[in-house]
Amino acid sequence: MPTQIERKKKEELNLLKRFIAVHGGGLQNMHIAESECPDFILEENDRRISIEVTAIVNPKVKQKESLQEKIVRKAKEKFNQHYLDELYVLVSFCHTPIVCKSNEIETYANRLYDLVEHVYIKQGIKNKSSNHFYKEYFDDSFIDSIDITNDRFDHWQSFGAYLVYDAEAGWVKERILEKEKIMTKYASHFSENWLLLIANLGDESSTQGFPFTDSLCPQTTFDRIFIYKYMDNRILIVK
């Protein structure tokens, strides 16, 4: 089974290939070499371009998403310990963010497990051989609703409508500076050093609006900076 680092690298490579397909400009003819520092190298004859790839995310929203993912994962693990049925579960959290310490995550996971088990037993899913779909709403809970079906693969995830806000210049600049520091560790010289920022990936933390691109990099050491908006399949040229 691929490690988390290997999965991340594969995702970055796929995003880079999509960016290259949209960008054109002869990049399609260049060989992509995977690397650790930089992330990737584009090569053609004597031309070598270093490319750092990183996603632009709202740090506060990402923290909320990570917490929800941990709660859902732990609740699923507990359910699988008690029942053999494979359920497809969509969990809609309330809009009010959960505020808890790391040692309190288990408590929320147990509460989510109890809610899923309640629907599972109440609707008699365990005793039904045919396919069924159930949706249940909850009051006075950190969960707004749960969708459960037994006609798909075994998968649990958070789900719901949300508003994606524009990026803030401060934390985008911070991400650029973090990647600039990596350039000092390069073992060889490159013709150009590029930064590819990935945005608009479809989740709440992945931003899509950038009203401040002109002020992002007046002193950056990157030769080129691009923002690739995944869902729109378009490129913003920052530098």
CB 19 within 8 A of CB 235: yes
What percent of the chain stands above pLDDT 90?
21
Q: 141 or 235: whose pLDDT is higher?
A: 235
Rounded to whole angstroms, what are the CA distances from 229 to 201, 202, 206, 209, 232? 7, 10, 10, 9, 6
Mean pLDDT of the chain: 82
Given this model, what pLDDT does residue 49 score?
94
Express each pLDDT in 181-190 by its tens digit.
888 888 888 9
- Report the C-alpha gap between 52 and 164 in whole angstroms: 25
SS3 content of the chain, % helix, strand, coil (to 5): 35, 25, 40
Given this model, what pLDDT does residue 131 score?
67
Kindly state the average pLDDT of the residues 167-195: 85
Kindly state the average pLDDT of the residues 72-93: 90
pTM: 0.69
Burial of residue 200 (number of CB atoms within 10 Å: 0-12, 13-18, 19+): buried
Assess whether pLDDT exceeds 60 at residue 161: no
Express each pLDDT in 16-60 by its tens digit.
999 999 998 888 888 999 888 899 999 988 899 999 998 887 767
Kindly state the average pLDDT of the residues 157-165: 68
Given this model, what pLDDT does residue 206 score?
60
Given this model, what pLDDT does residue 7 score?
85
User: Where does the pLDDT of residue 217 fall: very low under 50, low under 70, confident under 90, or very high at 90 and above?
Assistant: low
Alpha helix segments (H runs only) across the chain: 4-23, 59-82, 105-122, 169-183
Rounded to whole angstroms, what are the CA distances from 145 to 112, 142, 164? 11, 9, 21
Rounded to whole angstroms, what are the CA distances from 52 to 35, 126, 165, 178? 10, 49, 25, 11
CB 158 within 8 A of CB 93: yes
User: Where does the pLDDT of residue 113 fall: very low under 50, low under 70, confident under 90, or very high at 90 and above?
Assistant: very high
Given this model, what pLDDT does residue 158 score?
82
- Max avg pLDDT among 1-10, 27-36, 202-211: 27-36
Contacts of 191 (CB under 8 A, 6+ apart): 46, 47, 48, 49
**Can you tell me which residue has the tokens 């779909």?**
133
Given this model, what pLDDT does residue 178 score?
87
Kindly state the average pLDDT of the residues 122-134: 69
Given this model, what pLDDT does residue 92 score?
87
Sorted by where each starts, the structural domains of the chain and their CATH numbers stand as 4-58+165-237 (3.40.1350), 78-158 (no CATH)
Burial of residue 236 (number of CB atoms within 10 Å: 0-12, 13-18, 19+): middle
